[in-house]
Every structure is written in C-alpha cells, then in structure tokens.
C-alpha cells in the first residue's frame, strides 16, 4: 500500500505529502519515516495503490491519534483558513507525540540491577566499554534515570549496551503529576432558579446553536455545568471553552469538585507531559469533559454532546498567530458534524452572534436577573470635561475621590480600572472633548509618535499632527492615555495609608504572579487594586463595593470599528465586579464624552438597546457583521520586495474583484505598524459582503499562495482583532 505522508518538519514551508510504502492503516495515523538522513514523525493523509516514484522508503505505524471526525475538522480548517497540513495536524496532537519517536520512552526508567553489587556489574560491562561504564556509574549514583535522559547524555549505543548486558533493570514509571493536585475541591450545590431550569431544559430538549445571554452574576456557569451533567448521563462527552485568563484555580476547583476525574483541564500552566497525560485521558475516554482555552476545541473526544463557549465575545477565541482560525466557527463546524449542541454564553454577546440570534439562526435564551439579592450596581457617569473646566486637573473626579474615601473608611475594597489597549493612542482635546477622526471612515485616528503623524488604520490615510484643537482652539490637545503607575502615584498622595496593588502587563509577566496579585487582593491584603482590562474578567471579590473606571474613553477611541462594542463589554464586565456577594456596589465611570450612546446604554445595562443602535451604525458604515474585513499582510526585510509583493497581490485581488463584482473597499498601503521584528510591513485591505466573501476567499488564498517575500512572510487575516 502506498501511503501519502505529511512529514513533521518544523522549519519547512512546503505543504506537500510524500509517498511511502506501508501496511494499510487508518488515515490520520502517526508513522515513523526516514526523511533525508533523519528519522521523523509523519501523518498519513492519503492512501493509494501506485506511486509515480520508485524505490519508496517504508513508513512504520506508530498509532492513530486522530479520529475520522477530527480529520473532517482538519479538512475544514484547511479550506476555511488556508492552513498547511502540518499546522492543522499539530492542533490535534500534543507536543509530546511530535517530539518523541516513542512517547513511552520517557516513561521507561532504568536502575542498576540491585541483585548484584556495583563491582559485579562493572565486571560484566568490562573496562573496555568506557562510555557504558560511565553511564552505569551515573545510574548507580543517581538511583536510576529515565531512558530518554540517559540516551541524551550517553548516547543510544552505550545505553543499548547496558541493556543488552542485563546490568540495568527497566520499569515503566507513570509520573502522572496531576495538574489539579493543588486545587481545592469545593462543592457548592445549588437548586437552579426557574430561569436557569428553563435554560437547561431548552438546551437539553433542543439542538443547534444557543446563545445564553445572561447578565453578570446570573448563574450561567451553573447552567453550563448542569447541561454537561445531563449530557454525561446520556453517555456523551463535552467541551467547555473559557478565556485563558478565566482559568483561575477557583474556577478549575469548582469543575473538579463537580466532575472529579472525568474532567481534563488543558491550560497554559501545564508542561508537555501534563498536557499529554490530559490528552491521553480524553483520548481513552477516561475523561469525558475537556475544559480549556481555545485550543481545547481540538480535544480528542468522541461522541460529543455539547460544546460550550463561555464569554463568547472574548477576543482570545480568535487565533492571531499561525495557525490562524476563529474558534467559534470551528466549534460550530465540529458541533454540527458531531450532532452536538453549541452553547455560546455572554453578558455582552459579540455583535455578529447576537445578530444571528435575532435572525433566528441561533436560539436566544436570556437570564436577565442576577442571582444575588442585589441587583446590578448603579453606574454614575462623571463628565471629565466639566471637572477640568471647574479647575480639577487631576485624574480623579471629586465624586470618585469621595467615594474611595468612604469605601476605605468602611473597610471595604476598591477596584480602579484603566483601559489601555495596543501600542498607540488617540488624540483628544481636554477642553472640549474633541477627538481626531478619519474623514473617510469616521474612526479615531491613531497617533504615531515616531512619524509625528495621525493615521487611520482602516484606509491608511495619513494626517498631520495637530497641536491646536480644530474645534475650540485650545492647545490642551494631547494623547488621551494615562498609565497605571501614574494612577497609583496620584492615589498614594490622596490616600497615603491605603494599601495599593497594581496589575497590568508589566506586573504580570508570569501567570502565577497574576494569580498571586488576585489572591492577595482577595485575602484583603490590599485596599485598592489598580489594573488594566485584565481585572475586568470574572473574578469574585465579595468585599469590593466600589469600582472606578478612569479611562472609559480609551477603548472608545481606539481606532477600531469595534471600539464602541468593546467599550460596552468592558464597562459591563468591570461594573459586574462591584457588589458580587452581600454588599451593595457602586460604579463610577469617568468620561470626556458623557453623552455617548455607549454610556447611555451601559449605565442601564441595556445590551439590547445598545445592540440596536450599534448594528445600525455598522450597517451605515459597512463594517462587520455586514462585511468581512480581509487583510493580507506582507512582511519582508527588504522594502522593495515588500512593495513588489504587495503590488502583485493587490493586482490579483483587483482582478478577482473585476470578475466577481465590486467590493465595499479595496486598497493597499503601509501597515499601521510599518516595522516589526526587523521586517517592513505592507497590507492589502478589503471589505467584502459576506455573500461575496464566500465566493472569493478561495481565490484570494490562491492568489496569496502564489506570492512569497524573499525573506519574510505573507498571510491573510479575516476580521482581525487588532489592526496593528
Ligand atoms: P455568571 O457566570 O452568569 O456571571 P455565576 O455562574 O458566576 O454567574 O453565578 C453567580 C453566583 O451565583 C455564583 O457565586 C454562583 O455560585 C451563584 N449561583 C448560581 N446559581 C445559583 C443558584 N441557583 N442558587 C444560588 N446561588 C447560585
Ligand atoms: Zn477643543
Ligand atoms: Zn480612514
């Protein structure tokens, strides 16, 4: 039988298979092959009777890690996202299965045969075999070692010699270090409310895609868990995705308490063997629930009954690095082909998701009430322009200062939230609130310090830096961005006794420091937590009664068509942090644009009202979900090469447009970040209606595949989360 094999070479940019000879085996099988002079791993993706090549090498069957259902998903990924085989395959395989020819190798443990003395063993080995002698001494001195470590240290032939001579004893050590070992199991059984019961019933008796739209604290998690439980009873399995940042020890502990060993957790804190262990438990059916960040969508489960995506609006569900894919689309495909239900949950659904629900494509289930006896906290909006005019030049409004003082006086805690996104910043007038926007796109311009220019990230149009407000003539026009350090500084002068913690990218380089800061705040070791959007995600702090949002506008004027949507999501989420348990909460939101509709709807937590307004804006401005944005990013170390490649691609896309009908927008320009990692970046941007998109995307991929920068990269992004 001729096998068509994709060889796992990390560096190659080729996407082709090689013919090998081998026994008949299922597609997706993992094989050991000789490639050039190397022993490598490969995957069988096709079978045939004859080959045009002669004297084929042999492929040896190792195992079949990819099911036929997963293979279907793999073909979908290739087609929808133009992924290379190997990049798509790797999504399904734990790193361990790729790194090692034989994964059981690392479990084989060698000790010196203790029925004889070391002298006796040395005699058997003989002084002429020097390397073997060294290895034996090492093994004896260290009470043994893993086979793979020994081979790496002393070479395969020396270790092979010791094994042949029978001076070492082999045992299989299963070093399963439970990734959940240190997590508390706190089982918190509750009786479902009527709304929760109704949600569970609708999901259980139905099929297709559900949108669970529930305000923060409405008990969505309880609904997910009950649905999973019901599916398990039916003999099915389940996948639950959460944003990586929400995989806190508490959340994991709850799942562990409820589902015990039948849950496998895949998160970034696991090392390769832990990940492999969890993967194997899922593959063998020992664990039937996979919980994890976006990559858990590829979990090796069979007979899936439900896939749940919590916080479905979260941008982390879109993979922005190779392999690029949109987890929600992948989940939809997988659910459909497995006959499973898909549940998308959020307090602030993605515009596109909610639109589909209004169109009847998704089934909408609402949880409008909070579980706790306190309703959502009251949101107060403070106009920073009038604060500024009345002489308060600081970053805290009078209202917020007083509220912080009061909360601290009562021994309660405060969270101060500051939004900072991306690398650049918008320009704002502090006197009148004027914001510089693109004439063509009505999107805030981004200030590029190095070039002293303002740029529109959607059309590439450039504007001169402005030093005077075109609206009121004031020269108090500047970048509207402040940092967490400055907030802490000002805070400490106002409240010298307060214990302040800061959390942002700089203070949380490592994941455990993130948990450490949150843990210490939860233990009331600090009174005030100052942070970026990182602190907005679902953490429960019962003693927090005041939440202040300092830079509510920062997200609003971030140059992105989703700016309003993101702002609405952020303020809803942040506000949800106040008064979670038995104390009433208060939210103070400072803005230079108090009459902006985001705040009007945000204040009353009116998602539906906001949606109706915003979706209309998208329709008028022709942005998603009414169009799809396609960005082709070209990067090259040589500017001329980047320009040439961009021109070639642009012309090809223009040709596609000519054949298929006019796009909403098509243009080529330098990319907002012109230089990154030593490469010059250009881009072709297109906005296309969803119907046209389906027709042309294949052609666009082909066009892009035909162009290759000499030293750099080229790739296609669809509705990219960031325009940087
Ligand atoms: P969401 O995910 O919608 O923000 P959670 O699932 O975190 O809400 O629920 C909020 C709080 O209410 C949690 O502390 C949870 O344990 C509690 N809770 C959920 N359902 C119930 C219930 N039926 N009875 C009592 N408490 C509940
Ligand atoms: Zn002004
Ligand atoms: Zn523009």
> Which two three-digit tokens encode residue 434?
């004027």
CB half-sphere exposure, 24, CA atoms < 13 A: 2
- Which candidate, 285, 189, 311, 309, places its Cα nearest to that of 232? 285
Element (H, E) at 147: helix 147-154
Where is average pLDDT lowest: 19-23, 418-422, 650-654?
A: 418-422
pTM, full prediction = 0.82
- Segment 612-650, tens digit of pLDDT: 999 999 999 899 999 999 999 999 999 999 999 999 999
- 462 alpha carbon – ligand 3 mean position (Å): 9
Q: What are the two backbone dihedrals, phi and then psi, of residue 150, each rounded to the nearest 5 degrees?
A: -65, -40
- 467 alpha carbon – ligand 2 mean position (Å): 11
- 518 alpha carbon – ligand 2 mean position (Å): 39
**For range 333-352, the mean pLDDT:** 96
Residue to mutate, 200, 222, 250, 314, ligand 1, most ligand atoms under 8 Å from C-beta = 222
Where is average pLDDT lowest: 37-46, 470-479, 690-699?
A: 470-479
Q: Is the pLDDT of residue 507 over 70?
A: no
Q: Whose CA is nearest to atom 5 of ligand 1?
A: 219
| Look-up of token digits 């400072």 | 590
Q: Which band of pLDDT confidence, cut at 50, 70 and 90, is reported for residue 601?
A: very high
- CA 206 vs. chain centroid, Å, equals 29
- Which residues' Cβ are closer than 6 Å to ligand 1? 188, 190-193, 196, 214, 216-222, 371
**For range 602-617, the mean pLDDT:** 95
Q: Write down the pLDDT at residue 114.
A: 81
Q: Whose CA is nearest to atom 2 of ligand 1?
A: 220
- Which candidate, 561, 564, 508, places its Cα nearest to that of 537? 508
How far apart are alpha carbons 424 and 673 in whole angstroms? Answer: 10
Q: Is the pLDDT of residue 283 over 70?
A: yes
Q: Which residues, listed in sequence order, are joined to residue 109 by a DSSP beta bridge?
A: 146, 171
Q: Whose CA is nearest to atom 6 of ligand 1?
A: 219
Q: What angle do CA 75, 697, 88 make, to 5 degrees?
A: 25
- Which candidate, 90, 277, 84, places its Cα nearest to that of 174? 277
- Average predicted confidence (pLDDT) for the chain: 86
- Segment 80-90, tens digit of pLDDT: 999 999 899 98
How far apart are alpha carbons 501 and 410 in whole angstroms? Answer: 19
Please identify, by atom number, the ligand 1 atom nearest to the C-alpha of residue 193.
Answer: 23
- 529 alpha carbon – ligand 3 mean position (Å): 37
Q: Write down the pLDDT at residue 638.
A: 94
Taken in order of first residue, the domains within the chain and their CATH numbers are: 2-98 (3.40.1440.60), 114-166 (no CATH), 194-367 (3.40.50.300), 378-423+482-618 (3.40.50.300), 428-475 (no CATH), 628-718 (3.30.70.100)
* 685 contacts 458 by C-beta, under 8 angstroms: yes
- 689 alpha carbon – ligand 3 mean position (Å): 18
How far apart are alpha carbons 428 and 99 in whole angstroms? Answer: 52
Q: Is the pLDDT of residue 424 over 50?
A: no
Q: Whose CA is nearest to atom 25 of ligand 1?
A: 190
Q: Write down the pLDDT at residue 297.
A: 97
- Segment 450-501, tens digit of pLDDT: 678 888 777 778 898 888 888 898 888 876 555 677 788 889 999 999 999 9
- Which candidate, 315, 327, 297, places its Cα nearest to that of 565? 315
Q: Whose CA is nearest to atom 19 of ligand 1?
A: 219
How far apart are alpha carbons 687 and 622 in whole angstroms? Answer: 8
- 416 alpha carbon – ligand 1 mean position (Å): 24
- 614 alpha carbon – ligand 3 mean position (Å): 19
Q: Is the pLDDT of residue 335 over 50?
A: yes
- 40 alpha carbon – ligand 2 mean position (Å): 65
* Ligand in closest contact with the CA of 468: 2
Q: Whose CA is nearest to atom 23 of ligand 1?
A: 192
* Ligand in closest contact with the CA of 685: 3
- 295 alpha carbon – ligand 3 mean position (Å): 34
Residue to mutate, 216, 217, 219, ligand 1, most ligand atoms under 8 Å from C-beta = 219
Please identify, by atom number, the ligand 1 atom nearest to the C-alpha of residue 576.
Answer: 4
Please identify, by atom number, the ligand 1 atom nearest to the C-alpha of residue 220.
Answer: 3
Residue to mutate, 216, 221, 368, ligand 1, most ligand atoms under 8 Å from C-beta = 221
- Segment 105-152, tens digit of pLDDT: 556 778 888 888 888 899 999 888 899 999 999 888 877 787 877 887
**For range 502-531, the mean pLDDT:** 78
- 216 alpha carbon – ligand 1 mean position (Å): 9
- Which candidate, 394, 386, 286, 297, places its Cα nearest to that of 340? 297
* 351 contacts 719 by C-beta, under 8 angstroms: no
Q: Is the pLDDT of residue 179 over 70?
A: no
Residue to mutate, 310, 314, 371, 376, ligand 1, most ligand atoms under 8 Å from C-beta = 371
* 158 contacts 126 by C-beta, under 8 angstroms: no
Hey, which of 160-164, 407-411, 458-462 has the most confident mean pLDDT? 407-411
């Amino acid at each position: 039988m001729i096998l068509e094999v994709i060889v796992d070479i990390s560096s190659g940019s080729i996407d082709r298979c090689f013919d090998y000879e081998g026994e008949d085996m299922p597609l997706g099988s993992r094989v050991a092959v000789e490639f050039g002079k190397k022993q490598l791993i490969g995957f069988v993706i096709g079978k045939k009777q004859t080959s045009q090549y002669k004297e084929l090498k042999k492929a040896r069957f190792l195992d079949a890690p990819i099911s036929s259902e997963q293979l279907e998903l793999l073909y979908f990924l290739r087609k929808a996202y133009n992924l290379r085989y190997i990049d798509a395959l790797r999504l399904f395989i734990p790193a361990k299965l790729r790194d090692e020819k034989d994964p059981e190798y690392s479990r084989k443990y060698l000790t010196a045969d203790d029925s004889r003395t070391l002298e006796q063993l040395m005699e058997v080995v003989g002084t002429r075999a020097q390397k073997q002698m060294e290895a034996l001494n090492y093994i004896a001195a260290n009470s043994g070692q893993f086979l793979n470590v020994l081979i790496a240290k002393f070479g395969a032939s020396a270790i092979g010699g010791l094994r042949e001579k029978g001076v070492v004893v082999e045992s299989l050590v299963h070093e399963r270090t439970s990734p959940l070992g240190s997590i508390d199991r706190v089982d918190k059984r509750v009786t479902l409310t009527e709304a929760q019961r109704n949600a569970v019933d609708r999901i259980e008796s139905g099929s297709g895609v559900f949108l669970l739209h529930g305000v923060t604290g409405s008990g969505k998690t309880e609904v997910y868990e009950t649905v999973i439980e019901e599916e398990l009873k039916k003999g099915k399995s389940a996948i639950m995705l959460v944003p990586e940042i929400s995989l806190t020890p508490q959340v994991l502990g709850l799942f562990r308490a409820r589902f015990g060993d039948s849950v496998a957790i895949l998160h970034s804190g696991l090392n390769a063997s832990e990940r492999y262990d969890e993967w194997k438990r899922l593959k063998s059916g020992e664990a039937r629930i996979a919980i994890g960040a976006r990559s858990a969508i590829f979990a090796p489960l069979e007979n899936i009954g439900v896939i749940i995506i919590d916080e479905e609006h979260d941008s982390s569900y879109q993979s922005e690095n190779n392999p690029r894919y949109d987890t929600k689309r992948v989940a939809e495909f997988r659910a459909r082909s497995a006959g499973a239900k898909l549940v998308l949950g959020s307090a602030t659904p993605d515009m596109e998701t909610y639109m589909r629900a209004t169109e009847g494509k998704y089934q909408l289930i609402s949880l409008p009430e909070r579980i706790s006896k306190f309703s959502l906290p009251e949101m107060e909006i403070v106009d920073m322009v009038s604060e500024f005019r009345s002489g308060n030049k600081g970053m805290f409004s009078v209202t917020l200062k007083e509220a912080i003082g009061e909360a601290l006086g009562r021994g309660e805690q405060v969270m101060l939230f500051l939004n900072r996104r991306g690398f650049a910043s918008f320009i704002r007038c502090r006197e009148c609130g004027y914001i510089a926007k693109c004439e063509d796109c009505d999107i805030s311009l981004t200030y590029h310090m190095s070039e002293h220019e303002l740029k529109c990230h959607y059309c590439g149009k450039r504007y001169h830096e402005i030093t005077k407000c075109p609206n009121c003539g004031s020269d108090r026009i500047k970048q509207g961005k402040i940092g967490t350090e400055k907030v802490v500084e000002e805070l400490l002068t106002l409240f010298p006794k307060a214990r302040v913690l800061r959390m942002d990218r700089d203070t949380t380089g490592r994941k455990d420091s993130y948990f450490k800061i949150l843990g210490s705040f939860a233990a009331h070791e600090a009174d005030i937590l100052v942070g970026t959007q990182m602190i907005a995600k679902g953490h429960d702090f019962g003693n927090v009664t005041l939440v202040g949002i300092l830079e509510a506008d920062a997200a609003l004027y971030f140059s992105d068509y989703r700016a309003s949507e993101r702002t609405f999501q952020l303020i809803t989420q942040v506000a949800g942090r106040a008064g979670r348990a038995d104390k009433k909460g208060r939210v103070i939101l400072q803005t230079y644009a108090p009459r902006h509709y985001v705040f009007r709807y945000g204040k009353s937590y009116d998602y539906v009202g906001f949606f109706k307004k915003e979706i209309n804006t998208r329709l008028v401005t022709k942005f998603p979900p009414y169009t799809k944005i396609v960005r082709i990013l070209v990067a090259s170390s040589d500017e001329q090469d980047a320009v040439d490649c961009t021109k070639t691609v642009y012309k090809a896309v223009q040709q596609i447009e000519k054949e298929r009908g006019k796009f909403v927008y098509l243009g080529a320009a330098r990319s907002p970040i012109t230089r990154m990692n030593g490469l010059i970046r250009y881009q072709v941007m297109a906005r296309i209606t969803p119907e046209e998109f389906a027709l042309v995307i294949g052609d666009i991929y082909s066009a892009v595949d035909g162009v290759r920068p000499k030293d750099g990269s080229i790739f296609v992004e669809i509705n990219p989360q960031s325009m940087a």
